[in-house]
Amino acid sequence: MSLYGMMRTGVSGMNAQANRLSATADNIANADTTGYKRAFTEFSTLVMPTTGGAYNSGGVTTTIMNSISSQGVLQYTTSVSDLAVDGNGFFVVQSPSGTPFLTRAGAFVPDSAGRLVNAAGYQLMAYSYDNGVPSATVNGFEGLVPVVISDKDMSATPSTEGFYTGNLAADATAVAAADLPSANAATAQYSAKSSIIAYDNLGNKKLLDVYFTNTGPGAWEVTVFDQAGATPGSSFPYTGGPIGTADLTFDTTTGKLTGAVTSVTANVPGGASLKIDLSGMKQLGTGFMISDGAVNGSAPGTIDKVQISTDGTIYAQYKDGSTKALYKIPLADVQSPDNLTVLPGNVYAQGTDSGSIRIGFANEGRQGSIVSGALENSNVDIAEELTDMIAAQRSYTANSKVFQTGSDLMDVLVNLKR
């Protein structure tokens, strides 16, 4: 083995331990960084070919790894927009330039435009409910938009669904066809009546009159009118006629619905088509009774607060108590998370050995759940880092002694001429 080779080996060892100390320093510095994943150094030997019985020292090479797949402890907070992933998966965020990345740092806060941004300035991305219930784009980031929640925006939701639960009197007297509410004549008769509030496209309240009329054994007609069109001082006839009609059939023995029709659809004036589910109605030997009933939709209002479920759905709760789904947060994953490329800002990009990025939703497949009001701490153990630091220091000192010894022997060799 040559003296130069010995000295180069010592330098290689010092450089390796310096890399180890650098990783340890980063870990200690980021011990309190949300979502930070510990870096560590792997060593491998560098072997040089030997000739004629002479040993040529090689040295050591280092590879910096990150324990990205190791989860940190969840710390609960009082902010709804603080998010953590419990299990596999990463949030998809976007840089100010529009480039998507992955992260576990979920300390999001609204900026001046209402966008949820974390401490590094990356915007949270999700799928919007504007075009219906969202579905994930498995192999790409298309369809994702920045999450924007502003308490300045007003929203009104038209009514589209409702329900009634109750009883229709089994001993009700049948009404002749000419006098049914659907005929909308001044002589119209009915067995029972109820009213329900719905909302049009602008959030205006529309009071709807719902008539239940017996037309024979087990047979009922359900008719819906806009109360605004009722004749002053009475009901019938209504201006424009009924906005929805359906015929129900009940089993006269059990009192349960038996026909194929179990709902009535009404066209809300200035609004959407409203489907009222009547499958909870029965015909039993007691009086008319509505035990429960409701219609969706909401009047104009601003967002009072935000709720985020474990499947990543962001709900806005308005001042009138109504809620509306705004976004659904996806989770991204790769086959080998530890091989993702680590970038500044505590974000990751697809690496050559990580596998391709796959997008899905929380609680589906391998994906974990999303926890609102919590942050994932770094997975750094200070005691372990301090121990590694001492071990690296000792190894660095030992390698420096090898270099120093080689230098002393070189001095002896140089001075042989004197």
**Full DSSP string of 104-144:** ---B-EE-TTSBEE-TTSPEEEEEESTTSS----TTS-TT-
Q: Of 36, 18, 35, nearest to 27 (Cα)?
A: 36
For 128, other C-beta atoms within 10 Å of its C-beta total: 18
CA within 13 Å, CB half, 388: 23
C-alpha pair distances (Å), 390 with each of 22, 259, 385: 13, 80, 9
3-state secondary structure at position 70: coil
Could you write out the DSSP letters of every residue in 170-195?
Answer: TTPPP--GGGSGGG--TT---SEEEE
Q: Tokens standing for 139?
A: 């192999």
Cα 307–Cα 311–Cα 314 angle in degrees, nearest 5 = 30
Which positions ≥6 away from 101 have C-beta within 8 Å? 92, 93, 94, 95, 122, 343, 345, 347, 348, 349
As a whole number, mean pLDDT of residues 172-182 equals: 94
* Top-confidence residue, 319 or 130: 130
pLDDT digits (tens, 9 = 90+) for 29-53: 999 999 999 999 988 887 776 666 6
Contact 218, 168 (CB under 8 A): no
Report the distance separating Cα 243 and Cα 226, nearest Å.
Answer: 7
Instruction: Provide the whole-model pTM.
Output: 0.70
Contact 227, 239 (CB under 8 A): no
Q: How confident is the model at residue 321 (pLDDT cuts 50, 70, 90)?
A: confident
Residue 316: the pLDDT is 87
Tokens 């510990």 belong to residue: 38
**pLDDT at residue 91 is higher than 80:** yes
Could you write out the DSSP letters of every residue in 324-373?
Answer: EEEEE-EEEE-S-GGGSEEETTTEEE--TTT---EEEETTSTTB-EEEET
pLDDT digits (tens, 9 = 90+) for 5-34: 778 888 888 999 999 999 999 999 999 999
Q: Name the CATH topology of 159-296.
A: Tick-borne Encephalitis virus Glycoprotein; domain 1 (2.60.98)
Cα 391–Cα 397–Cα 402 angle in degrees, nearest 5 = 130
Mean pLDDT of the chain: 90
Q: How confident is the model at residue 269 (pLDDT cuts 50, 70, 90)?
A: very high
Report the distance separating Cα 8 and Cα 319, nearest Å.
Answer: 72
The proportion of the chain whose per-residue pLDDT surpasses 90, expressed as a percent, equals 70
Contact 366, 359 (CB under 8 A): no
Query: How far from chain centre, in Å, is Cα 415?
Result: 73
Residue 273's Cβ-count burial label (10 Å; 0-12, 13-18, 19+) is middle
Residue 409: the pLDDT is 84
Residue 417: the pLDDT is 66
Report the distance separating Cα 180 and Cα 247, nearest Å.
Answer: 12
For 386, other C-beta atoms within 10 Å of its C-beta total: 12
Rounded to 10 deg, the angle between the 382-414 and 3-29 helix axes is 160
**pLDDT at residue 155 is higher than 90:** no
Which positions ≥6 away from 118 have C-beta within 8 Å? 93, 103, 105, 106, 107, 108, 109, 124
User: CATH 2.60.98.20 in the chain, residues?
Assistant: 159-296
